[in-house]
Amino acid sequence: MAASWQRNPRYIVFIFVTILATLYLIGSFDGPPPSRHRFMPDHDLPDRVARAERIYNKLLLDRKDLIKKFGPTPNDVALFPPNKDPWPAYTVWDFFPAAFNCPHEIQRLGALGDGGKWVCGISRVETKPDCIVYSFGINYESSFEAEILAHTDRCQIWGYDFSVNAFGPEIPSSQAYRTHFRPYGLAGTDSGPDAPTKMYTIESLMKMNGHTHIDILKVDIERWEFETLAALIKPYVVSGKPLPFGQLQLEIHLWDMSFAEYLTWWEMLEAAGLRPFWTEPNLVYQNYNGDEGTTDLAEYSFLNIKGENIFIKDPTRRPLDEDEYGHGHGHVVGPTH
């Protein structure tokens, strides 16, 4: 008896088509796997940033209404009402929600307890050749910095804290060459040469290090953030120039401050282009203070929406070299700020 494929030509056609399809699929996967070093432009990024800004602008109107409700002026608003009057109750943080939508993935880097920070789009600096991170306030806990090193190939981290003499133990020895620590403090002005503690402004430290831009700036300096950031930001607000950093992870300490003072400081951040995309109260601080614990500490993460930073704009791209990754197509991140 003849084989069925000999009796029916349709079997021959089926086998032929199957072989061709198999060869096509094999050819489609030929060559090296996709490399995370190849830059993929994000054409929708400007639209997402613009949409998030429209949503945030609505919040500004809502804040004015809330101030009128509980004020009617900022000078009449209490940070934390001492009793149940007025009702419904509120706290200062209700006036400043993190209402800006990060246009990338949001990821917590570092410890789940005190020490970790929320970052918008760490993938954007994953292979950035000139990635710069500044971290103020170490206190022997460096899980945040260690995870930045783990998630990136080339980010260099500069850490500052006059109360300790090194990064925390979380930094692996294999990555220590990408970290730089100095026992300096951060302030609104530089200290004199005879000062017992060396204090510098952010701009002075950037000049000292030869930097013109910081991708990620972390600040946790026990209420000195008000003086320090005001000294840095005010000149940029006046000049209209974009701030020299892409995003800011900040712990805010509302000690001995009025609502009106805080509102003025916060609106300065907004005028400079900073938009909060994440917040959480510091419940560890509240818990450790027992019955006297307060909610006047909160973590905020801000995105800078002005300028050309990597989190809101695609960088300049260049073609891959033939021998750089083994294939000469696609793009990689080129030097950019």
**Owner of token pair 């804290």:** 161
Q: Which has the higher per-residue pLDDT, 122 or 32?
A: 122
Q: What is the mean pLDDT of residues 138-155?
A: 95
Q: Which has the higher per-residue pLDDT, 40 or 331?
A: 40
Please give the Cα distance from 249 to 219 (Å, whole number).
6
Please give the Cα distance from 305 to 311 (Å, whole number).
8
What is the per-residue pLDDT across 31-58, written as a single tens digit (0 to 9) for each?
444 444 445 667 899 999 999 999 999 9
Q: For residue 183, what are the CA distances in angstroms to 108, 144, 164, 167, 198?
A: 26, 18, 7, 10, 8
Please give the Cα distance from 246 to 213 (Å, whole number).
8
Q: How many residues does the chain have?
A: 337
**Owner of token pair 């190849």:** 38
Minimum mean pLDDT among 115-119, 150-154, 264-268: which range?
115-119
Asked if residue 79 lies in contact with residue 66, where contact means CB atoms within 8 angstroms, the answer is no
Asked if residue 148 lies in contact with residue 122, where contact means CB atoms within 8 angstroms, the answer is yes
Q: What is the mean pLDDT of residues 181-190?
A: 95
pLDDT (0 to 100) of residue 193 = 83
* Chain Cα centroid distance, residue 193: 34
What is the per-residue pLDDT across 259-294, written as a single tens digit (0 to 9) for each?
999 999 999 999 999 999 999 887 666 666 655 656
What is the per-residue pLDDT across 221-230, written as a single tens digit (0 to 9) for each?
988 899 999 9
Q: For residue 196, what are the β-bridge partners?
A: none
Query: How many other β-carbons are positioned within 10 Å of the β-carbon of residue 129?
Result: 13
